[in-house]
Amino acid sequence: MFFSSKKIEKERRYFDYAAATPIDSEVLSLLCSLLSENFANPGALYSEGTESKDLIEKSRLSISEMISAHKDEIVFTSGGTESDVLAIRGVIKKVSLDEKFEGKPHVVISAIEHSAIFDTVHELEKEGQIELSILPVNKEGRVAVEDLKDVVKKTTVLISIMYINNEIGVIQDIPTISKEVRRLKKKLHGDRHSYYPLIHTDASQAFGFAPIGVSSLGIDLMSFNSGKVYGPKGVGALFVKRGVALNSIFYSGGQESGLRPGTEPVALIASFARALEISEGSKSKESLRIANLREYFLEKLEKIIKESCFKDLDLDYKVNGSQNYNSPHIISLSFKGLESDQMVIELDAKGISVSSKSACKTLDPQVSHVLSAIGYDDNSWGAIRFSFGRDTQNEDIDFAIVALQEVLFKLLHTKKEFLL
């Protein structure tokens, strides 16, 4: 049974844009048209095939120009997760086949990486393929750049630091991190332009909110995702700087410079490129609007917390992550003594869509490794994430705050009665 979109719009408020964005109406029209008209295999030599190939290459050029890269530095994938895995495993596989490389390859990540990175490197460590170091973060979720000198060594081949964290919204200073890595390269290898270590960042949450020029970021590899920029799901990209050699983690055809075999999804790729164009074109205005919404939300939240109804209920909460270095579209809140999933379920019943942690890890009963890294090492604090997007308005926040107030009162009152 399909539900009316108007009915959903009236009864529900969506606050999980960090997990998935709705497809832009213009992009949807383009996608439908391309699915119908440009279905030919881009590897074919006949006219329809070359037309499909041209669409892919135009999309590749468009995306490369948006991030100040070369056209041949864009590799299309199925999404952010695959881009992350290809970056990590692609580098390690290349190193493993290099007879001149001495020692076990060493990888450095931050303690709050996306699970696609976090789980992949831990699996590689378990397999005995790498040595792993994890950079701690402070209570705000920020990496201390000076800590790099304590972990980077001659066998370090890859450093992966997420640009904007998907759970708490903290922004890392990627340009400064890259500058420090170049300094360490010179110290360790006598040349700041030495090949290793390579620098990777997952920038899936950054598009539309932060500078994305790869030269100014100083990186070698960058993952990003259509599903986070109002494009179709099932497509993403990996920036691979010229001169950086990866090995494919798949076996078959030679598509995408031999890194991602398989028939390219022409309609998805072209729609992804258009979605990015729209997102980046409205970045300045939209990010400011979202920042104002964030401030409005936090002011409303603080106001209800002070309501007399909570006077005897021991309501205690925190806004997770840095409040000075954050992306405005993500707000992570922790409430003392409440369960994350229970809050999500209760809010859902009131028409509010939020997440308890990254959607990739929602079914995991363990404490989020991100929250654990910033000091929540047990389940005594329940965390939920509100994330804003293009359709979020002040009235949506008003609706959500009322619902949150009711849910908090219900859960805290129930808890108090249980303890009596």
pLDDT at 260: 86
CB neighbours of residue 359 within 10 Å: 14
| Interatomic CA distance for residues 147 and 212, integer angstroms | 24
Name the residue ranges covered by the structural domains of the chain: 5-18+283-419, 25-281
pLDDT at 8: 45
Which has the minimum average pLDDT: 253-267, 284-298, 334-348?
A: 253-267
Rg (CA), the chain: 23
Q: Is the pLDDT of residue 266 over 70?
A: yes
Q: Is the pLDDT of residue 363 over 60?
A: no
Peptide bond into 197 cis (omega under 30): yes
What class has domain 5-18+283-419? alpha beta
The per-residue pLDDT for range 164-198, each reduced to its tens digit, is 999 999 999 999 999 999 999 999 888 776 889 99
What is this structure's pTM? 0.92
Cα end-to-end span (Å), the chain: 45
Residues with active-site annotation: 360
Which secondary structure element, helix H or strand E, spans residue 53, and what is its range? Answer: helix 47-66
| Interatomic CA distance for residues 286 and 112, integer angstroms | 26
pLDDT at 2: 33
Which secondary structure element, helix H or strand E, spans residue 175, and what is its range? Answer: helix 174-189
Region class of 79: left (phi > 0), else alpha (psi between -120 and 50), else beta: left
Say whether 149 sits in a helix, a strand or coil: helix
The per-residue pLDDT for range 42-98, each reduced to its tens digit, is 999 999 999 999 999 999 999 999 999 999 999 999 999 999 999 999 999 999 998
CB-based contact 165:133 (threshold 8 Å) = no
With a CB cutoff of 8 Å and minimum separation 6, the contacts of 80 are 114, 116, 202, 204, 223, 224, 225, 227, 228, 236
pLDDT at 309: 78
Q: Is the pLDDT of residue 38 over 60?
A: yes
Which secondary structure element, helix H or strand E, spans residue 81, and what is its range? Answer: helix 80-96
Token pair of 141 as six digits: 């979720």
Q: Is the pLDDT of residue 36 over 90?
A: yes
| Interatomic CA distance for residues 120 and 116, integer angstroms | 6
CB neighbours of residue 1 within 10 Å: 2
Q: Is the pLDDT of residue 358 over 50?
A: no
CATH architecture of 25-281: 3-Layer(aba) Sandwich (3.40)
